[in-house]
Structure 1
């Protein structure tokens, strides 16, 4: 196969390609012109999308490319269905790029798979198998499934998932490269793994349900991040917890007005079965607390309110621990990923009041009312230590594109895997 060569130039394109054209063609490929670009990475991304739309089988990056320029090209060039392959530029970054790209592709594939193919058990098994492949003997896996969740007291995952014929799962993956079974756990990653979200009895509209295969984007993102950290030489002990369920309607599904009692004694009235993500994450956070770790990061496609605030460009960052929040933002800046802080104060714990339980799981109002993303984070704050020390909540507004844009293909983005991998390495 003849390579389609793509190079960078800081000279303007010939006039025949148009004024300030970002892209020109020649016999063996294309040139991306950065000369007059105010935003070089956006120019690379837009050019990559243009080339991807040509349905090329393979491209070769030629000449002088930085790591981030190649990564940006790959993020934009790699479409969801039958993507073309990329040959990296001849630089010292090849091995690092291959590891990053593998984590990106794994993350995107999980999110883009059909909800029929990706049941809760399938999500858990695929995440575990990939991490075992990367971590070998350092990886140990346990799964709590179906009725065993109720027996173990993981009532959030159990109740959200019990309406489906395909059972819910709590996956626990222990990556321990120290060789010491008594080594402390340095960090815990918790991911929302709702493999399809109908909304339950608070049912979504048809168009609102179309992209709900992506509601396990948090689980995919933290799995991709841990895999990336492992291949980057992670020496710390890290536990991954995936809270996996299908939120469906049946005669056995949970209902509005139900009260769920959690392991820590907190009672929760269900006022919206479409606010299910926080119910399953609560179990994951409780389990993370049992492990005595100094750092907990949870990630979820949790609220539409985060997308209203941030669009689909940034992930929302919530923490009551200023140091942890700042370190998360520093990690994102170092990895050139867009994260943005949103408010979380102790009073947000009380923003979902209930007359029948300690709290409701939302406000009985469309979209969760004003400040919905912060209120959801406040709900989760009930399931970590009272001061929220060492806990960071990520609302992944930028995890999925319902349609292609000038910069990104349709579907999963895998944005965030780099920042989370750096955070658990540097914290």
Structure 2
């Protein structure tokens, strides 16, 4: 889906032509708007007295200026009462501003960057961090899902955001501010690209379409791209992927993207993403209610394509191999069945107890193949389990690792990006639950206890001794209602965290 490009700029003067002036306000600042036209200041104070706008986080009020200000409208956006304001609060406040602007059909916004009050000032480090956070928030908050209606309702677009800075140092700081804004745009655009892919109807995104999407990225950014079709998948021994995909008329694909940022192909980071383009559960058929969400079961693959879009632009000095096992999990006469024992690329065999636990089987081949392609560390990301929703709801992504120092890098990146990750335990008793009497491992436990943990540990078996992190976005890749930065539908959760971890 093609989105209108939002122009960001840094300006010192001249607010003519802008539809709205965005005021980000902490709760304690509502009584100190001494620089604002008195009648407008009085209006804001009355809103506070009536508790219509108190400056609470996510609170929004749009008021007309009636010619008392250079812009026709003021957008009052609450920041809460924390001081200093966390960067995530700035992101969420900007997202709220974007949504309010679009609802009011305001396309061009100006934002005071030096602080709310005329006497406020910020050092350049803080200012660039805030500018970056605001830029992410504006772009993520203004995301709109594509409409397939015959006569879609025309919607407003956020065309321009100008950061107004009348401090004396703006000229010397402008390049740093513009660099921060540019980087934030890359992160947000990559996230929105992942959202677009996740939201595609499953009839428009089958494994072959996903391979074509990867090839498009490769052509734009010069990546090496390898796509193995169903015949090559069998020939190479990727039997896990073969068995999961053989029930569909749309055959599976094993997709590889390689980015080489150093002279030697060493210290390679492997990224493996689950690419189940639709999941019916197979023979272990899902409940039909809510099954339409299963267009998002390729959310892990979408995230990695988003990450590679950002990597192609930022060009870090490191080596990355992305592996996406893509398939449809469908019931048919040729589908794999409960009770089957299937081989995998690693040589290990899997006893199938539940065909709706298919993602871990394709990831097993994906992780093994990433190692064969040189990965020295591996992150897999997948909408792996429904059990993660029971544990963490749709708020946090679950993480499992065999290397605590590796996970610390991920957690630091998540903190910087404002995305939530919670580490799950890997006690030996959980691994015991995956033992099979007739195969090397079974793909599901009989009582389904600790499902998010055992699902992740299944994948970890195939990572072996390679440093590995598993991210289960089964709760965070898709939302039924918009919240904060995230829209209803595909969220692109973990794109910004992964890019931050890679780029630093």
TM-score computed with the length of structure 1 as normaliser? 0.90
Q: Does 1:113 align with 2:192?
A: no
Equivalent residue, structure 1, for 2:247: 163
Larger relative contact order (Cα-Cα within 8 Å, sequence gap ≥ 6): 1
Asked if the contact 1:32/1:47 (under 8 Å) is kept, the reply is no
Distance in 1, matches of 2:192 and 2:477, equals 13
Distance in 2, matches of 1:335 and 1:42, equals 10
Equivalent residue, structure 2, for 1:383: 462
TM-fit CA distance, 1:255: 0.9
Equivalent residue, structure 2, for 1:176: 260
After TM superposition, the structure 1 = structure 2 runs for residues 7-86 of structure 1, keeping only pairs within 5 Å, are 7-10=22-25, 11-12=29-30, 13-16=44-47, 18-19=50-51, 20=54, 22-27=59-64, 28-34=72-78, 36-38=80-82, 40-41=89-90, 44=93, 47-48=96-97, 50-51=99-100, 54=103, 56=105, 58-64=107-113, 66-81=131-146, 84-86=157-159
Asked if the contact 2:60/2:100 (under 8 Å) is kept, the reply is no
Q: Does 1:5 align with 2:20?
A: yes
Distance in 2, matches of 1:342 and 1:326, equals 14
Residue 299 of structure 2: SS of its match in structure 1?
helix
Aligned counterpart for 1:337 among listed residues 405, 419, 444: 419
CA 1:162–1:326: 2 relative to 1, 3 Å: same
CA 1:343–1:67: 2 relative to 1, 3 Å: same
CA 1:59–1:160: 2 relative to 1, 3 Å: farther
CA 1:26–1:275: 2 relative to 1, 3 Å: same
Structure 1: runs of 5 or more not aligned:
none
Q: Does 1:399 align with 2:436?
A: no
TM-fit CA distance, 1:199: 0.5
For structure 1, which segment, 31-40 or 249-258, has the greater mean C-alpha deviation from structure 2 after superposition? 31-40
Asked if the contact 1:52/1:78 (under 8 Å) is kept, the reply is no
TM-fit CA distance, 1:342: 1.0
TM-fit CA distance, 1:43: 5.8
CA 1:108–1:57: 2 relative to 1, 3 Å: farther
Distance in 2, matches of 1:260 and 1:236, equals 36
Distance in 1, matches of 2:434 and 2:218, equals 37
Larger Rg belongs to: 2
TM-fit CA distance, 1:5: 2.7
What is the number of equivalent residue pairs in this alignment?
416
Q: Does 1:141 align with 2:206?
A: no
CA 1:244–1:57: 2 relative to 1, 3 Å: farther
Write out per-residue CA displacement over residues 43-82 of structure 1, whole angstroms, 9 at most, x where no aligned residue.
6167347516727373435221531133134323313236
Aligned counterpart for 2:335 among listed residues 242, 246, 253: 253
TM-fit CA distance, 1:273: 0.5
Residue 398 of structure 1: SS of its match in structure 2?
coil
Asked if the contact 2:77/2:97 (under 8 Å) is kept, the reply is no
CA 1:55–1:224: 2 relative to 1, 3 Å: farther
Q: Does 1:370 align with 2:449?
A: yes
TM-fit CA distance, 1:3: 5.0
